[in-house]
Homo-oligomer: A and B are copies of this chain.
Amino acid sequence: MDVTKDQDFDEWYNQVVEAADLCDKRYPVKGMNIWKPYGWEIARAIDALIREEMRRTGHQEVNFPLLVPESLFQKEVDHIKGFGSEVFWVTHAGDHELDERLLLRPTSETALYTVFALWIRSHADLPLKTFQIVNTFRYETKMTKAFIRVREIHFFEAHTCHRDYEEAEDQVREDVDIARSFFDTLCLPFLMHRRPDWDKFAGAHYSIGVDVLMPSLKVLQVASIHQYRENFSRPFDITYEDEEGNHHHVHQTTYGMSERVLGGIVGLHGNDHGIALPSAIAPIQVVIIPILFRGKEGPVEEACQEVERALTERGLRVHLDSRDKTPGNKFYDWELRGIPVRIEIGPRDVEKGAVTLVTRDGEKKQISRDHLGQIDDELAAFDRRITTRAQQFRDQHVHSLSTLEKREGIIRVPWCGREECGLEMEEEVDMSSLGIPYPEPAVEGTCAACGERARHWLSLAKSY
């Protein structure tokens, strides 16, 4: 990178995603990038974590077609208003013009719900808990940015159907728990807000956004949870028969995430040497680097192989870097790619029956070859340290104020709850509303816009 992270975060980010071998941005369609093998392996590790959360909570994986007929897409009015301007349209096949235009899903509500209406007959079919991991498409007109604002998106979406509003509310609470567990594993301290009505998902009854605060002091939405109530089940006619033979519309929720999660990890944990990966998703958790001196190669190479074998047997993802390069060049390569733990073994380590361990955040110690099990603790400690640092950064930049003032980061002020006051404040500080903190803390005082009694806290920030 030819800028430091402090100097120019956005430029550093743009460079580090390619330098760390995550993606290649030279594909000749704007905003559509290539996942390189290393980046794709990390993306798949993140997917595996999501799948594990889905398994734990009884969601089933489906896979729906990419193309949605225009007539289906038109069914929910707010939804088409929200997404209509950013869909890609398929109009022809071969030399032939299609009878009905097809769009590339920007999200999959309209595709899934057409078929949910066929799958759900009685209360015994509920709750229906499904998810899919697919590519979605949005014709972004703003400047694109790897993982953060792209036109083809690696996307996760859970869709559920329930008997009534309360059961759907339980699902929202489960989703909040899933988000906590998932982002904790990824060392991403987040903020949750119930979005203001003027910024909820197109078609939702309400939306909860999960954001991380990036070093640029702009927030990045990394997940969202939506309560749809009957907003989609009415136009798509998704009903069930209850025990008494009465028919009702189902209540629905969704939970969505995307490759932005990786964008958050790069942004929060990287430094001028490269990215830093939480141990749960690092394709290589421990890299072993032989420090060779002429005439003493044998014992060092032997020790390296033995340590590799021992750690692999412990279930760690280990790589022994035997390339014909200097140790310094190897350090450089693996720091760039964010490997959590590096083990160096030289002749003096061999003599002492030890190895030298250096974590990606610079902690260095010697550990005995008899206690290699310690490396599990070192990985966990590394995860905790990068989490704590990001937490401190976030907490330093949340400003709870009683009156509106321009500050960098996130501003939190008492609010009467009226849209006009929210929009007025957005304009005054040139930020957008994140919404009401979730869960909602007690509020006292008066609205920072109109001076009437405050009913909520409202958070404002600049965002990606």
- A contact set with B: CB distance below 8 Å: 24, 26-29, 32-37, 40-41, 43-44, 60-67, 69, 72, 84-96, 102, 104, 111, 114-115, 118-119, 130, 135, 137, 139, 152, 154
Q: Report 7 cross-chain contacts, Cβ distance below 8 Å, ordered by A residue.
A: A34-B63, A34-B115, A37-B60, A89-B92, A90-B91, A90-B104, A94-B139
Instruction: Give chain B residues whose Cβ lies under 8 Å from the Cβ of A34.
Output: 62-65, 115
**Once the chains bind, are A29 and B64 in contact (CB under 8 Å)?**
no
A137, B65: Cα distance in complex, Å: 11
Give 12 A-B pairs besides A33-B65, A88-B102, A94-B139 with Cβ atoms closer than 8 angstroms.
A24-B118, A27-B65, A28-B69, A28-B72, A29-B65, A32-B65, A35-B62, A37-B130, A66-B135, A85-B94, A86-B94, A88-B90
- Given A29-B69, A72-B28, A85-B95, the answer on whether A37 and B64 have CB atoms closer than 8 Å is no
Instruction: Give chain B residues whose Cβ lies under 8 Å from the Cβ of A93.
Output: 86-89, 139
A88, B98: Cα distance in complex, Å: 10
A197, B114: Cα distance in complex, Å: 45
- Distance between A129 CB and nearest chain B CB, rounded to angstroms: 10
Instruction: Give chain B residues whose Cβ lies under 8 Å from the Cβ of A61.
Output: 37, 40-41, 44
Consensus secondary structure, chain A interface:
mixed
A26, B65: Cα distance in complex, Å: 11
A4, B419: Cα distance in complex, Å: 64
Q: Which 6 A-B residue pairs are closest in the complex by CB-CB distance?
A: A93-B139, A32-B65, A35-B63, A37-B60, A89-B92, A85-B94
**Once the chains bind, are B88 and A92 in contact (CB under 8 Å)?**
yes
A67, B67: Cα distance in complex, Å: 13
**Once the chains bind, are B111 and A27 in contact (CB under 8 Å)?**
yes
A254, B423: Cα distance in complex, Å: 56
A65, B137: Cα distance in complex, Å: 11
Chain B minimum-CB-distance residue to A60: B37
Chain B minimum-CB-distance residue to A119: B24
- Distance between A50 CB and nearest chain B CB, rounded to angstroms: 14
Chain B minimum-CB-distance residue to A36: B62
Chain B minimum-CB-distance residue to A64: B34
Instruction: Give chain B residues whose Cβ lies under 8 Å from the Cβ of A27.
Output: 64-65, 111, 114-115
- Distance between A347 CB and nearest chain B CB, rounded to angstroms: 30
- Distance between A234 CB and nearest chain B CB, rounded to angstroms: 19
- Given A32-B65, A37-B61, A40-B63, the answer on whether A84 and B94 have CB atoms closer than 8 Å is yes
